[in-house]
Amino acid sequence: MLDNKFKWWQKTVVYQVYPRSFKDSTGNGIGDLQGIIEKLDYLQELGVETIWFSPFYPSPIYKPYSQHDCGYDISNYKEIHPEYGTMEIFDNLVKEIHDRDMKIVLDMVLNHTSIEHPWFKESRSSRDNPKHDWYIWRDGRKPNGKKPPNNWNSMIGKAWEYDPHTDQWFYHAFLPFQPDLNYRNSEVQREMLDTVRFWLKKGVDGYRLDLINTLFKDAQFRNTPFVFKLYSEDGDLFFRSSEMTINLPDTLEFCKILRATIDEFLDKFLVGENNASLKILKTYLGDMSKDGISHDGLNLVFLFQSMNTPMKPKRFRNLMQMYEKWFPYPYTPTWVFGNHDQMRRITKIGDNFNKAKINAVLQLTARGVPFIYYGDEIGMKEGKASKKDSRDAISHHFNWIPQFIRNIIGKYGIYMNRDGCRTPMQWDDSENAGFCPPNIEPWLPIHPSFVKRNVNREEKDVGSLLNCYRKLLKVRKENLALQIGDFALINLKKLNKICLTYHRIYEKQKIFVYLNFGNKELFLLSPIQKPQLIFSTLPNRKALNLKVYNGNIKLTPFEGIIFK
């Protein structure tokens, strides 16, 4: 493997910023672009290389809030929502990011617009309107058309909405105020590809593609067949197969068109959001091209399989084996433990900092591109999001479900109020955690843990989670093997139950990662004669001192080390 064979996005570490919650520079309790610019030095010092921004495009006012699905319901694809700033500030953001030798990735919501988008308003104005066909409209079932056109589901249940004005039904893959665009209409395709080009011309380095698996639906609108599954990774839901609405071959073909579009520019990239089995996910990367190292589909896809993996070495071992099976080099897996739709990882793992450190080592040393969710580096935990005060559109949609049932469902990993993972970033221990000025009500309550868990405090503490991330990112940057090296698990037999061990190899460099998930001290025979410690989750550990331990490597409880 030669270094120059690798593209920047194969080696990078991505950090997701949720703009609304990162830093408020105007004093209205809502994060904004200028606030992000003020914090770029922090991100550079942290050591992340690419920043992915959740949407900051205009999204309609929905009383009493603006931004109904927080930007995933777009009403203008080529503007900045006034709450976040102006196009001038955006251009400056791109420049400031590039000046720091970092990359910027935007979120692109191709599947649907807001119900308030002028296109949809035109579309629903009459059946003859030229934009009518831009969305998916159908007559209802006979005799009087008052039943939905077919039995399709959306991801949240009902998929068809009746519109009395046109006496037709429109389709939505997500929430009812997010009507799906009709990708079988060539004008829609042209317009959306133009949107993709618009921001690339402005200098952005790529896109995270929202719900990319739902773009095309069955052209004949056939009913979805029955499957004996309440739920499946590939989108089957409530005993209905997803084959008429999700992962259609036309969608895969369109991903190739998207790829060809970004390839009109130099060095851009696409990562797709698509909840699916590894087998299906792989198909989104397209076919191997003649050079044997690149594909003609998306560059990366999120592998969400890690998201709910418990802190058990065997579970990670299996997962890593699966990733290597389905995504061997030159495929690049992704490592994702949190995002704006998921409960905070640290809360899932019992709010345990030792485990969070092990998790961080794994994420930043396994083969693949890591995606870090803002605040995970300081151990931000899940906010208490009650149904009553919720801001999240999903929570509103399921308002009829009583809180106690939500709590029970939550135990099974179904997340009904995403406010909990979207609370403002905790910068310091002042009132409002340095996110917005004191005496202002932030758009979501600051998590009470901010007094102890904040950037300012953790920067000064050598043993903090933040400093663990910083060191790890530095070690990763200094060692190509950790970025792009081959990966192999090391078999410790019985000890595989409590310890996860693997190595990464790049040319002559071999790097070992040993992670002790247990609460017992371990002594493991060193795989090499003179191992040199390059990282430990213990801040004060400087060496391995094999002689002291009879040629063994000592691992203290919950310690993760990297050596070469």
Whether 69 is catalytic is no
**C-beta separation of 39 from 76 below 8 A:** no
Site for ligand GLC in 341-370 (CB under 6 A): 341
Whether 324 is catalytic is no
Binding residue for ligand GLC, selected from 109, 115, 244, 484, defined by CB under 6 A? 109
**Three-class secondary structure of residue 484 per DSSP:** helix
The single residue of 49, 73, 116, 210 carrying the catalytic annotation is 210
Interaction mask 9-48, ligand GLC, x per CB under 6 A: ----------------------------------------
Site for ligand GLC in 62-81 (CB under 6 A): 69, 72
Smallest distance from ligand GLC to CB 202, Å: 22
Q: Toward ligand GLC, which CB reaches closer, 348 or 471?
A: 348
340 scored as a contact of ligand GLC (CB under 6 A):
yes
**Three-class secondary structure of residue 270 per DSSP:** strand
174 scored as a contact of ligand GLC (CB under 6 A):
yes
Taking alpha carbons only, the member of 271, 250, 274 closest to residue 259 is: 271
**C-beta separation of 512 from 503 below 8 A:** yes
d(CA 477, CA 481): 10
d(CA 332, CA 299): 8
Site for ligand GLC in 241-280 (CB under 6 A): 273
Site for ligand GLC in 189-218 (CB under 6 A): 210-211
Place of tokens 């001290």: 521
Q: Toward ligand GLC, which CB reaches closer, 9 or 174?
A: 174
392 scored as a contact of ligand GLC (CB under 6 A):
no
Task: Please work out the total of residues on this chain that contact ligand GLC, with binding judged by CB under 6 A.
Answer: 9
Taking alpha carbons only, the member of 73, 156, 78, 145 closest to residue 112 is: 73
Which long-range contacts (C-beta less than 8 Å, at least 24 apart) are formed by 503-510?
503/527, 504/365, 504/367, 505/481, 506/1, 506/480, 506/481, 507/1, 507/480, 509/479, 509/480, 509/481, 509/485, 509/564, 510/481, 510/564
d(CA 441, CA 57): 23
d(CA 426, CA 447): 8
124 scored as a contact of ligand GLC (CB under 6 A):
no
The single residue of 32, 69, 83, 273 carrying the catalytic annotation is 273
Site for ligand GLC in 420-479 (CB under 6 A): none
Q: Toward ligand GLC, which CB reaches closer, 156 or 533?
A: 156
Smallest distance from ligand GLC to CB 295, Å: 23
- 353-365 vs 465-478: helix axis angle to the nearest 10? 20
Smallest distance from ligand GLC to CB 21, Å: 13
Smallest distance from ligand GLC to CB 384, Å: 20
Taking alpha carbons only, the member of 374, 361, 297 closest to residue 335 is: 361
Site for ligand GLC in 298-327 (CB under 6 A): none
**Residues labelled catalytic:** 210, 273
Could you list the residues that contact ligand GLC (CB under 6 A)?
69, 72, 109, 174, 210-211, 273, 340-341
